[in-house]
Amino acid sequence: MAIVFSLPVLINRPAWQHRLDSAAFRQPPWPDYHPARLAIANDLPRDVLHLAHLIDRLVDQISLAAIVASYHGRGSTPHRPDLMLKAVLFMTQRGMHSPAQWTQQCYENRLVQWLLRGCRPARARWFAFRQRLVPFIDDVNKQVLALAQQQGLLDVQVPVLDGTLLAANSSRHKLINQDTLNRRLVQVEQAIGADTGAQTVAPPATVGEAAAGARRGEAKPDHLDCCPRAQDDAVAPASSPSRSPAQPASTTSRPAAGAAEPAAAHSNSALRPAWLAKTSKGRALQQKRYRQAQQELHKRLVHNAQRRKEDRKPEAQVRISLGDAEATLGLDKEKVYRPLFNVQLVSDLTTDFCLAYGVFSGVQDAATLKPMLGRIDYFLDKKIRRLMTDAGYATGATLRLLEGEPIELIAPWQENDWTKDKKATKKIPKSAFIWDEQKQTYRCPEGHELKYVRTQTKRRGTVEEKHQQYRCPAEHCQNCPRQKECTKNATTGRMVVRNEYEPEVQRHRDRMQGEEAKKLYKKRKEQIERRLADSKEHRNLRKLSMHGLAGANVQVGLTVLANNLVVFDKLENQQQRTRKEPGMVASGSAGRTIPARRQGCGRPERGEPLLGTLDSWNHPRSQFPYRCLDFRPAWSAFRSLKPCPLRI
């Protein structure tokens, strides 16, 4: 009797795949066909296992050579990065973004155990792996989009760009200004100097001494003012005078007069402010974070000094968050003032693919248009011809920027669903005044010429705009029959302001009046707004769990990658249904086709129908290798194995 086995034969496997199976990485306790792993697959329903299976299958088609090469073989043996990435994507799609949650799921979630092949990485390993993805997450997303284009699943015609504000991983209750930051930084450096014995430290000031000093007219110490939990003894801060934004404060600590304090005194919680780190290592990290915050705050002070006088804030009101210095301060969607990041997403108009993404520290969408164009070119490897946005991106500066690019911006000019009704009740609009190119002036609807008054320069963010003002003579307005429809004060005359970007704006308005542009723009909200709502409501991406722009980019990139893998699987299944494969056989006179049954595949447990039969919608059932114990498929994930019959 001849028994035939199907053994895999390795063909042209890349070196990084060989390294995954070597001793350089900790091998999982369960091989692919371990009884414990197969038991999970047989116990769970097909729809429950679907998400884990598609992530397990599609991640194997992505090259992880750069991630594998980042492991240099030092320290303890690491877990396999491909298995950890699969589990991270699965839990991200389920709305879990914290490594603490990932660690818990390794013990409680059977699907995560199925993906990890029985591995249980520690909590610190999940944090380290997430940080390791910082330089590689963009490349992984780019590979998925390239694979979708190669298989004909993605044909980009009109990308849609929109943004949203996400809460940073920082408290909104602990915002400090320049003076407070400088005083705290001096205290931290004094504590570090006391740890190393390099300098003397001021004697501790108690709450009672501070009260006595206040009665004598002395300033109250900052740490006693900001930290009500501080005990009677605390490190006395050095005074720091206010400085101009052009000259950041020096961080060199000044030894105060008095007896030197031993370094061990700072380890006592009674002598330490509540905000000061407890260990020397923590104080060193705190010093690094405070210096970074000082640099960011200096940039904001310089930017605030360049603003218009009516929009400029006092220096004491320019604050920063110590938890995440790169996060900007503003109002979120719920009108809460807190540290925020501006997340930009680019979605395809015809599919649910996210084509590009970016994280920025500003709250203005118009400032992100130019860098997002570069991000789109990176992810798609081609130049786009059209880009659809809302009115927040269409400014004079952006329109002039796109004049030299082969990109057509589809966006309304300073108009949305709320401003249409307001503009309808306005009096004679500016568009009714005709611009005379030869005389460089306006002509009112009654035929009178407006006189040039002055040119005013306004700053919007970092861009300066010149506005030319033209006014109709008072004698014409006072005798005009349409006076009440045009101006409220006829003694001064109607004024019209012309922006320096007026030619670009007029061409953009004429282009948006076309039927094709109107028809395309109606589809914007139903696509991009749904993507943003899905990421917040179903993926729980309302507050970021990583710090800084790089960390926020990783978290958004993982969410986009999980979404694109699900969309890829959905479109791939639709593509397979529309064409007949060689392994399909006719079934009945209705022309239905079903896949030919594999020999040796018996009926699964729990009385489920045979693989390859029709389901309740008359669609052929998919071949799930984890459902059939006798089926040993090729390692199609790496495209490197093929079955080899061996006769014994």
Sign of the CA dihedral running 319, 321, 326, 331:
negative
Which H or E run contains 303? helix 280-305
What pLDDT score does 553 carry?
Answer: 96
At 293, the pLDDT band (50, 70, 90 cuts) reads: very high
* E strand intervals along 438-484: 441-443, 451-460, 463-471
pLDDT above 60: residue 424: no
Q: Domain count for the chain, please give it.
A: 3
Distance CA 388, CA 521 (A): 7
Q: What is the mean pLDDT of residues 347-351?
A: 91
225 lies in some domain = yes
At 6, the pLDDT band (50, 70, 90 cuts) reads: very low
98 lies in some domain = yes
What pLDDT score does 514 carry?
Answer: 87
What pLDDT score does 103 carry?
Answer: 96
The pair of three-digit structure tokens given for residue 329, joined into one six-digit string:
């301060």
Q: What is the mean pLDDT of residues 617-636?
A: 39
Q: What is the pLDDT of residues 112-121, one digit of tens each?
A: 999 999 999 9
Nearest to 131 by CA among 420, 607, 487, 550: 550
Provide the pairing of β-strand 463-471 with 233-234.
Answer: unpaired
Q: What is the pLDDT of residues 297-337, one digit of tens each?
A: 999 999 888 888 888 899 999 999 999 999 999 999 889 99
What pLDDT score does 500 carry?
Answer: 86
Lowest mean pLDDT among 348-357, 367-376, 613-622: 613-622
pLDDT above 70: residue 266: no
Residue 379: count other Cβ atoms within 10 Å of its Cβ.
22
555 vs 628 pLDDT, higher one: 555
26 lies in some domain = yes
In 395-540, alpha helices (H)? 396-403, 419-424, 474-478, 483-486, 502-512, 515-521, 530-537
Q: Which of 320, 338, 368 is the last residue of a domain?
A: 320
Distance CA 77, CA 125 (A): 11
At 59, the pLDDT band (50, 70, 90 cuts) reads: very high
480 lies in some domain = yes
Residue 191 and residue 110 in one domain: no
398 lies in some domain = no
Residue 322 has, within 13 A of its CA and on its CB side, a CA count of 20
Residue-averaged pLDDT of the chain? 78
Q: State what percent of residues in the chain have pLDDT above 70.
A: 74
Q: What is the 3-state secondary structure (H, E, C) of 241-262?
A: CCCCCCCCCCCCCCCCCCCCCC
Residue 140 and residue 196 in one domain: no
pLDDT above 90: residue 647: no
Residue 314 and residue 226 in one domain: yes
Distance CA 610, CA 149 (A): 34
Residue 235: domain span = 175-320
453 lies in some domain = yes
pLDDT above 70: residue 527: yes
What pLDDT score does 580 carry?
Answer: 56
What pLDDT score does 269 carry?
Answer: 53
Q: Which of 294, 320, 346 is the last residue of a domain?
A: 320
Q: Which of 274, 294, 320 is the last residue of a domain?
A: 320
Residue 8 and residue 143 in one domain: yes
328 vs 265 pLDDT, higher one: 328
DSSP one-letter code for 526? I
Range 287-308 burial, b when 16+ CB lie within 10 A, else e:
bebbbebbebbbebbeebeeee
135 lies in some domain = yes
The one-letter amino acid code at 453 reads V
At 404, the pLDDT band (50, 70, 90 cuts) reads: confident
Q: What is the pLDDT of residues 193-237, one digit of tens each?
A: 988 875 444 434 433 444 344 444 444 444 434 333 333 333 333
pLDDT above 80: residue 451: yes
What pLDDT score does 180 carry?
Answer: 93
Distance CA 303, CA 361 (A): 14
pLDDT above 90: residue 597: no
The pair of three-digit structure tokens given for residue 395, joined into one six-digit string:
């400014």
Residue 266 and residue 313 in one domain: yes
Q: What is the mean pLDDT of residues 369-390?
A: 91
The pair of three-digit structure tokens given for residue 138, joined into one six-digit string:
């963009």
What pLDDT score does 403 carry?
Answer: 84
Residue 430 and residue 301 in one domain: no
Residue 106 and residue 249 in one domain: no
What pLDDT score does 467 carry?
Answer: 87
Distance CA 346, CA 560 (A): 10
Residue 8 and residue 147 in one domain: yes
42 lies in some domain = yes
Residue 16 and residue 139 in one domain: yes
At 363, the pLDDT band (50, 70, 90 cuts) reads: confident
Contact between 561 and 570 under an 8 Å Cβ cutoff? The reply is no
What pLDDT score does 560 carry?
Answer: 96
Residue 142 and residue 211 in one domain: no
Direct distance between the N- and C-terminal alpha carbons of the chain, in angstroms, rounded to an integer: 9
Helix, strand and coil content of the chain, in percent to the nearest 5, comes to 40, 15, 45
251 vs 232 pLDDT, higher one: 251
What pLDDT score does 331 carry?
Answer: 92
What pLDDT score does 490 carry?
Answer: 81
Is residue 180 helix, strand or coil?
Answer: helix
Lowest mean pLDDT among 168-182, 246-260, 436-450, 572-586: 246-260
Nearest to 43 by CA among 602, 609, 631, 605: 605
Q: What are the backbone dihedrals phi and psi of residue 481, each rounded to the nearest 5 degrees, phi first? A: -70, -20
What pLDDT score does 78 carry?
Answer: 95
Q: What is the mean pLDDT of residues 66-71?
A: 95
Residue 150 and residue 8 in one domain: yes
Distance CA 485, CA 446 (A): 12
At 601, the pLDDT band (50, 70, 90 cuts) reads: very low
Q: What is the pLDDT of residues 145-204, one digit of tens each?
A: 999 999 999 999 899 999 999 999 999 998 999 999 999 999 999 999 988 875 444 434
* E strand intervals along 322-421: 328-331, 337-348, 354-360, 386-388, 408-410
Residue 150 and residue 9 in one domain: yes
